[in-house]
Amino acid sequence: MAENAFAIQDLPTEKEYVIPDLPVNKDYHFFISYHNSDTATVHTLVEILERKGVKCCYYERDFIPGSTLFENIREKMSNSVHMLIILSEGLATNPYIKHEITEALHRRINDGYPIIPIMVEPCTVPADLKNIRYIDAKDVDVSEMPSLIIDAMVKNKIKADYQRTTGSEVSIALTRYAGFPRFLSLSRYKLDINENVRRNLRYSQFDLTNHELKEIEDIVNSSYLVQYWHIFSHFVLVASLLLFIVFMLSICVYLTVMITITGLTEDDSKSTLTALHVSISVVILAIFVSYCFCWNINNKMSITSKYSKLAAQYKLWQQLVHALSPLNQEAREKGRIILFNFTSAELKLIRYDFGICQAQFLKRCEQQDRLRAWMRNGQSLKDYTDLLFDNFVKSERCIRLTEPSATTRHTLSNGAKCLCLLIEEDLS
C-alpha cells in the first residue's frame, strides 16, 4: 500500500524531539476526531500534549457556538497541521466523524494533509482508513500515548520536509559576453554568480559562503569546457567556416597554378570569365557541402556520446567534474550536491537529505549479499555506506540525479531516482 511504502519505522529516529513551530496560517498542530465515549481519554491526551507545546483542537472546547458542526469542522481542520483520529469501537457509528474523515481524506489527496490514527482499544478500522498506518496503543497507558503521537507527528514532518526539499534544484546558466574583437569573434561564456543568483540561493536555503561561491565560479570559469564553450556551442558554424577556408585556398592555389602555367592573353579573357563563373559555383557548392558535412558529423558524435555532442567535450566535462569533487566532499553533512550539467550549460545545486536514503540502503545491505560486493574485510556497514555515497556524489555518475525517471523509491522534488536506488543499480 502507498502509506506502507514509506512507513514510519523507515525514518531516522531521535530520542528527543523539538516540537515544530506552527506555520503562520495555522492555529493547531492537531485536529482531534473522536467518539464521545473517548472524551476522558482525549482530555488527558490534550492536557499532556499542550503541556509539551503541542496545540490541539477538539470539539468541546474549540468549536465556535453559533456555527454549524460542518462549518466548525471545515474551519478548524483548515487551521490545523495534522489530524489525529482516535480509533475505538464507537468511531464508525457517528455520522459527524464519518464526515470529518471524508473531509480529511479529500484534503489529503489535494494538499497532502497528514492523518495520524491511534488505536486506543481493539476495534475494526474504518474501510477508508485501512491504507493508512496507525499507532497501535491498545496496550499502552494513556499517559504514554502523547509520546507516540509526538513521535509520529515529527516523523511525518521529516517525511514531508524530505519530499519537499530533497531533489530541489537551483540552476545557474552560463552567461554570454562579447569576445574581442567584438565584430570578429563569437560570444564567449562564463559562470556569473551575481547578487540575484545569491539572493535566489539564500531564498532556497543553500548555505554557501561568499568564499565557496567564489571558488565555484573560479573552478567553472577556469575549466577548458567553459573557456571553449563558444566553439562547442557553434561547432557546425566553426567547422563549416574552416572547411570553407580550406576550399577557397584550394581554389585560389588551383587558379594561380593554372594562370602561371598557361599564361593569359586577350584571347583568353573569355576562358578566364568562364573559369571565374565555375569557381563561384564551386564556392557556393563548397559552402553547402561544408555545412552538410559538419552537421552530419555533429549529429553522429551526439549519438556516440551519451551526454555530449563531441567526445572532446565529454572529456573536458569529466575534468570539470573532478575539479568540483572537493566541493562535494562534505555533501552528506551539508545536505547539498554541486554539479555541472553541460547538456543545458548550467551549474546545478541540489538539496539532498542523505539520512533516509542511507538508512534504507544500509538496511538493504544487511538483507542482500550482492550489495556488499565491494565491502572490505573489517569494514562496518556504516563506513561502507558512507564511502559509496561519498564516491557517487563526487563522480560523473551524479549527473543522473538531474534526470527525471518513472522508476523511483524515495520521492525527489525533481522527479529523479534517489541516491540509494542509483547506487544499487551500479552495484547490480
Kindly report the CA angle at 343 between 342 and 345, in degrees rounded to 5?
45
Instruction: Evaluate if pTM is beyond 0.85.
Output: no
pLDDT at residue 202, as a whole number: 86
Residues 6 or more apart whose Cβ sits within 8 Å of residue 250 = none
> Does 384 have pLDDT greater than 70?
yes
Contact status, residue 200 vs residue 320, Cβ threshold 8 Å:
no
Model confidence at 315, pLDDT cuts 50, 70, 90, reads confident
- The architecture in CATH of the region 4-165 reads 3-Layer(aba) Sandwich (3.40)
Q: Rounded distance, CA 29 to CA 42, Å?
A: 15
Q: Rounded distance, CA 299 to CA 310, Å?
A: 9
Residues of the chain with CATH 3.40.50.10140: 4-165
Which helix (H) or strand (E) covers residue 351, if one does? strand 346-351
Q: Rounded distance, CA 362 to CA 388, Å?
A: 11
Q: From the CA atom positions of the chain, what is the Rg in Å?
A: 33
Give me the count of residues in the chain: 428
Residues 6 or more apart whose Cβ sits within 8 Å of residue 174 = 189, 190, 191, 226, 229, 345, 346
pLDDT at residue 303, as a whole number: 37
Question: Which range (82-91, 196-205, 299-308) has the least confidence?
Answer: 299-308
- DSSP letter, residue 369: G
Which helix (H) or strand (E) covers residue 338, if one does? strand 336-341
> Does 55 have pLDDT greater than 60?
yes
Contact status, residue 28 vs residue 57, Cβ threshold 8 Å:
yes
